[in-house]
Structure 1
Amino acid sequence: MFQENAYREHLSLMLSEVLNDIGVNEGMVVKRRRVNMHKETLTNIRYKLTDKNITEYNLGSQSEGTTTIGLHSDIDVVGCMHNYNIIQYWSEWEYGKENYLMIQDENTTPGYCFLQLLHPYVPLCLTGTHDEHHITDRRGRILLKNTFINVFLQGACQQHGPSIADQGQPGFCDIDKVIAYPCKSRPQSASGWLDRQGIGRWPTQEMRRYAASTGCFVVATGSKVSEYPELEWRISTSLTERCLMFSLNITQIRCYVLLKMILKSFLNPQDEINISSFMCKTVLLHCIEKTEPSIWKDNNLLTCLTYCLLELHSCVQNDCCSHFIIPENNLMAGQFTAETKHELSKRICELIQNDRQQLLRIDIDDLGHRLQVKLNMVQHRVYYFMSSLEIHEHVLATEYLNFARAISVHYNYILNHLHNENIRTIKQHIVKLMNFSDNGNRLEHVAFKFLAPFLFTTYGSTLASSSIGENNQVSPQALVWLSAGVNSDISSSRLKLASVFYSTGYMEKAEFILRHTEQQYYSYPVIPICGCWKTPPPAVTAELMRLCSEQSENYIKKTAVCVRFTQKEINCVPHELQYEMFRSTQDDMIHRHKELDCWMDSAVVDSLPFLYFLQYKIYSHLQMYQEQQQAISKLIRTIVIDVNLRHRETALNILGQCMEQENRPQQALKCYLLSLQQRTRNNAANFHLCKLLSGLIVRLQA
């Protein structure tokens, strides 16, 4: 017995080392959580700035840090709509709002509820008929059907019940977005949990107070065993669950990661969906509550895993996995056929009895092979693995690049919202953003640090365009704002400032900025970032991984966001680029997405091609012809070599116009044709091509 215990302890330590190597360690968990919370905060600030009555929460494995590269975890997002007031007590009723009373009675499945429509002006129940989204039951109550949510999901990528699934995008995590409505008070069915006390006094009183204060959500889906599937709404306690997961120690997190690997490898092979990861999470939470904290240590990991598997086996045997916070809600109700239940029970028993052999068979993140090496069962040279440092750097680089893209996406979203607004409105948005930073939490302050400089630059450029239109001068106020935003990233705001100087004839100042920007650009492995449309993220190189690891979130300032000029900034834009603002004909507009393609009304170009284009134009004015030819050569090389360009058609269009100015019409024609290969419609190349061919015909006729 002593030898067996010593062996299991040794195996647990080796297994913990393997999990540490593949990124399941305290440092990586904290960093994953921090980046995802920053992205969540950015999203919600964007909604506040654009007056959207929505709050989004990033939930699940990505935000918890309970994932690995090989698990390919999706991103779970709850989009909380605040246009309805869901109440449990009459004291929560609000005048003038659409109020719904949460009903849990003998007709609702535990963990689910009906939503009864109330009068908006007096705290009374409405009766009678309503519309197609409501139904009147035999008691005369007007109940909201959960199919009502389909109104919001029309046109979604893929709809699965109450969620929007954004899948199949290379290089991006799948996103599972659920629309929900908030209820300010905690669910009545969770009251017992608040008074329950685990063996290790976990969850703590502080967590319970948080749970009581966050309330819950209702999600548009009914129970599988419900008699009224269209009327039931699932009660969700996602924020409380996230709080609980954030409190786990590293051994508990490793145990959960192992459960998910086992689930994917043995219990749900070939994309079967028998047991969900949420069931595994629930089992883990129950086990933590029932045990002393002292057992959750790395040298006891295998025992903890076995305990969780035994608990899971019991759940399958009894067809009952009680929701951790709402215990009356059986997560396995109606989930398995008798045949599936027997097969699952058999598989779990095999896992418990032969845990070592089964762990060695896990291919996810090469866990089994890595464990064999740790146990000296094979020589290391038989397998090649990414080192712990390589995995650490790869994950960080991926997270930070996604965060940088999120900043660009939200910036573009705000610009789209401001498309038809005046200059004063832009400043009002900046003031609102400053207030969020001054009065908000640390996360909002960080969001302000990354987002505000882009808005400063846009506001300064808009002011400059207005003053240039009036007297061909840049106002001092515009220069102040442009200077305040110059460090938004490595290049885009500097390039806009250089373009302002170019547009007003200050060629020496513009040339100095461009020279300095080019030096900065080549001091780091700079990656182009574009939030205009969804393209695969840039390749993560070894140099980039190292830099991200060293500079952490500060690396985001070293990316090169694409340069975007709105139509209000037109006087700050070289005329060759102004065509991009009018790229769409009436026929093209039919092929544009109403929201996602709003950027097409602006002039948008990748930073590096725009830098070389400006150099080409400025050196021409300064009569520095050798430098001018070097600039056009660099522009050509960038278009040909840089695989990360996201607006290649625009770069080809401005190169084509440079070729026309060089009196090289054949090369210009080639540029425009290549541009049309990149984007057939909504492309200014169509205009350039017609203009070029018209000019050639006139010459031939002459």
Structure 2
Amino acid sequence: MPNWDIVSAFHVRKPLPEIQHWIDRCRGKHWPPVQLLEAARIAPCFLVPAGHPDSDYKREEWRLSPNLIERMLTFSFNMTQTKCYIVLKLIKKSLFAYIVGDAITSFHCKTIMFFTIERTHPSLWCEHNLMFVLLLCLHVLRRWLRLTRLPHYIIEGVNLFDGKLSKLLQKRLLVYIDSLIRNNLQDIFCIGIDNISCRLQSCSMRYIVQAGELRGVCLTNSIRLLLKYDYLKRLSRVFTVLNHKQRSSHNTFMQPLKYLIRSLFENSTNGISKTAALECIKQVYTFQISVQTSYYLRLRNVLDGEKIRRAQYSFNSDVASSRLKFASMLYCSGHHQAAVRVLEDVERSYHSNIKAVCGFIHLEGDCHLQVFADMLSGYKDEGFIELPFAFCVRFVRQESYCTPAILLFEMNRNITEEEVAQRDYDEKLWMDCAEVDARPFLHYLQYLTYGGLGERDKQLHAMGVLEAFIDIRNQLNLYHPETALNLLGHCYEMEGDYAGALRYYEESFRFRRTNNAANWHVLRIMRLISG
């Protein structure tokens, strides 16, 4: 019966010291779990008629088989571990078979899995790490091949290569696995079974495998950037929630902010939390300076050198947003030449590897590890001089006098109260503000400042760059496309091209029909057209 595998065996009734020795060895590790070890203590083992392959008495010898314990270990695999085991078997069947025939078996693959899982932190066994943990399994196999022995996972003193893989075949397989690891597992993508290439690509790791640095700096730095990005999103969100709670009137606005700055630092209990607190304090400080500057400008006071120096403290909170707010302060206070210098500095820093950060809007794919691997292009050795992230630029009502006039419509984006009622919890936190992606705001401010200085060619160039950026529709770096389109529409409006302005305002509706300031802009343009 070809589909059956029947083995005659004797049931061993008493506890075996070999099993107890294995349980003692595994105690205190991440895997196997305590519950499984307790179940293994009482699980029956079997005595099977199978001698050592090199023995002269192999027809009279017996061996222990803890197959029920091995079954429990296999059934404890999570989904990623199961997939890894399946891919190992596919490698065995398609790649190893060319070198060693059927000498490597499924039991060898299972044993390699046991050793790898035992020695790996559970957090690594997740879907997007499938290629990485597969690489770890091959490292384990390579180590045992170098030692010319693969121990049984449970029964001590058993070499699973004996009688299966000769010394010559072990050397041949070791050479191939060395090559496979050096080439970052590229041969795996050539396996034709079960469309495995596409399945592995769907785990979003092939880019890093092809980059040739799966085990090195690329993966480490990609994960570091991903974690930093997630942290900055959370920081932005926390700051917005705190801001929303304290946003009442100017008379009561500053004192809670001062208390927040003090409590953030005093309540930080270690170096990591103090670092996070300092970054949050920079955000709060930038906001405080902007609110104070708006108050001075409302009273028609001059923005003097002391206030400008204070604003410069928070420039390194990210690549662009704090500097853009500073440029906006300078523009609104009439310091156009100074604003241009700040904007030129931002443009020099805003290279193609910058990742936008928004605390409230999620774009599909913006958290994939490949996005952060792409950001490392050209920065493999020296690293980033500063973190390559840019927050969205946000203005609240208390900053109105530091805000370009067109963005005041964003603070009143609803036409009716029914639109306000449609907002979900997150939208209620930020929709009373003007929030815009840093890159479009940079080019819009350039259009305004160059226009104020009468530099017409540079003004038109800035407008063209803004239009090109939106036309590219960089889905992973444009969290507020409706606002960016409104800014571009306003550029056309200032050019006297009302048809072009209407076209972009109407394009803005594609992204957000209600709670969109474009509704006000269209009404205004229609009044201008009708005279």
TM-score (ref. length: structure 1): 0.48
* CA RMSD, 1 decimal: 3.9
Q: Does 1:399 align with 2:195?
A: no
Corresponding residue to 1:563 among 389, 393, 401: 393
Q: Which amino acid in 2 is paired with 1:402? A: D
Q: Does 1:626 align with 2:393?
A: no
Q: Does 1:680 align with 2:513?
A: yes
- Distance in 1 separating the partners of 2:260 and 2:305: 21
Corresponding residue to 1:423 among 238, 254, 265: 254
Taking the TM superposition and a 5 Å limit, the aligned residue runs for 1:169-568 are: 252=29, 256=31, 281-283=33-35, 310=69, 313=72, 355-358=107-110, 365-366=130-131, 371=138, 375=173, 380=180, 382-384=187-189, 386=209, 387-389=214-216, 390-420=218-248, 422-437=253-268, 440-474=269-303, 478-522=307-351, 525-536=353-364, 537=366, 540=371, 542-545=373-376, 557-568=387-398
- Distance in 2 separating the partners of 1:626 and 1:648: 26
Q: Deviations over 1:638-692 (max 9, x none)?
A: 1122332101110100110110010111111111111110111110001101111
- Distance in 1 separating the partners of 2:423 and 2:508: 18
Higher percent of residues as strand: 1
> What runs of 5+ residues in structure 1 fail to find an aligned partner?
1-197, 204-251, 257-279, 288-305, 322-352
- SS of residue matched to 2:354: coil
Q: Which amino acid in 1 is paired with 2:410? A: E
- 1:692 maps to 525
- Give yes or no for contact 1:404–1:556 (8 Å, CA) kept in 2: no
Deviation at 1:562, TM superposition (A): 0.4
- Distance in 2 separating the partners of 1:433 and 1:547: 37
- Of stretches 377-386 and 480-489 in structure 1, the one that deviates more from structure 2 is 377-386
- 2:424 maps to 593
- CA gap 1:314/1:285 in 2 versus in 1, 3 angstroms: closer
- Give yes or no for contact 1:564–1:603 (8 Å, CA) kept in 2: yes
- Give yes or no for contact 1:283–1:311 (8 Å, CA) kept in 2: no
Corresponding residue to 1:581 among 407, 411, 414: 411
Corresponding residue to 2:443 among 606, 612, 623: 612
- CA gap 1:315/1:443 in 2 versus in 1, 3 angstroms: same
- Give yes or no for contact 2:409–2:517 (8 Å, CA) kept in 1: yes
- Give yes or no for contact 1:283–1:308 (8 Å, CA) kept in 2: no
- 2:55 maps to none
- CA gap 1:662/1:315 in 2 versus in 1, 3 angstroms: closer
Higher percent of residues as helix: 2
- Distance in 1 separating the partners of 2:355 and 2:66: 46
- 2:60 maps to none
Deviation at 1:417, TM superposition (A): 2.0
- 1:109 maps to none
- CA gap 1:472/1:550 in 2 versus in 1, 3 angstroms: farther
- CA gap 1:568/1:284 in 2 versus in 1, 3 angstroms: farther
- Distance in 1 separating the partners of 2:420 and 2:290: 27
Corresponding residue to 2:503 among 665, 670, 679: 670
- Give yes or no for contact 2:36–2:72 (8 Å, CA) kept in 1: no
- Distance in 1 separating the partners of 2:490 and 2:215: 49
- CA gap 1:459/1:200 in 2 versus in 1, 3 angstroms: farther
Corresponding residue to 1:649 among 482, 489, 495: 482
Q: Which amino acid in 2 is paired with 1:310? A: I
Q: Which amino acid in 2 is paired with 1:653? A: N
- Distance in 2 separating the partners of 1:610 and 1:419: 24
- CA gap 1:493/1:286 in 2 versus in 1, 3 angstroms: farther
- 2:58 maps to none
Instruction: Calculate percent identity across the aligned residue pairs.
Output: 25
- CA gap 1:555/1:408 in 2 versus in 1, 3 angstroms: farther
Q: Which amino acid in 1 is paired with 2:355? A: I
- Distance in 2 separating the partners of 1:286 and 1:529: 48
- SS of residue matched to 1:601: coil
- Give yes or no for contact 1:463–1:475 (8 Å, CA) kept in 2: no
Q: Deviations over 1:201-247 (max 9, x none)?
A: 997xxxxxxxxxxxxxxxxxxxxxxxxxxxxxxxxxxxxxxxxxxxx
- Distance in 2 separating the partners of 1:406 and 1:676: 28
Aligned length: 373
- Of stretches 487-496 and 386-395 in structure 1, the one that deviates more from structure 2 is 386-395
- CA gap 1:573/1:283 in 2 versus in 1, 3 angstroms: same
- CA gap 1:546/1:503 in 2 versus in 1, 3 angstroms: same
- Give yes or no for contact 1:460–1:480 (8 Å, CA) kept in 2: no
Q: Deviations over 1:569-601 (max 9, x none)?
A: 111001011110000231211110245432000
- Distance in 1 separating the partners of 2:502 and 2:316: 37
- Distance in 1 separating the partners of 2:35 and 2:397: 56
- CA gap 1:314/1:616 in 2 versus in 1, 3 angstroms: closer
- Give yes or no for contact 2:236–2:358 (8 Å, CA) kept in 1: yes
- CA gap 1:544/1:314 in 2 versus in 1, 3 angstroms: closer
- Give yes or no for contact 2:330–2:338 (8 Å, CA) kept in 1: yes
- Of stretches 385-394 and 371-380 in structure 1, the one that deviates more from structure 2 is 371-380
- SS of residue matched to 1:502: helix
- SS of residue matched to 2:371: coil
> What runs of 5+ residues in structure 2 fail to find an aligned partner?
1-22, 40-64, 77-104, 114-124, 143-172, 181-185, 190-205
Q: Which amino acid in 1 is paired with 2:138? A: L
Deviation at 1:564, TM superposition (A): 0.5
- CA gap 1:648/1:307 in 2 versus in 1, 3 angstroms: farther
Q: Deviations over 1:123-171 (max 9, x none)?
A: xxxxxxxxxxxxxxxxxxxxxxxxxxxxxxxxxxxxxxxxxxxxxxxxx
Deviation at 1:354, TM superposition (A): 5.2
If you compute each CA radius of gyration, which structure gives the higher value, 1 or 2? 2
Q: Which amino acid in 1 is paired with 2:411? A: M
- Distance in 2 separating the partners of 1:465 and 1:547: 40
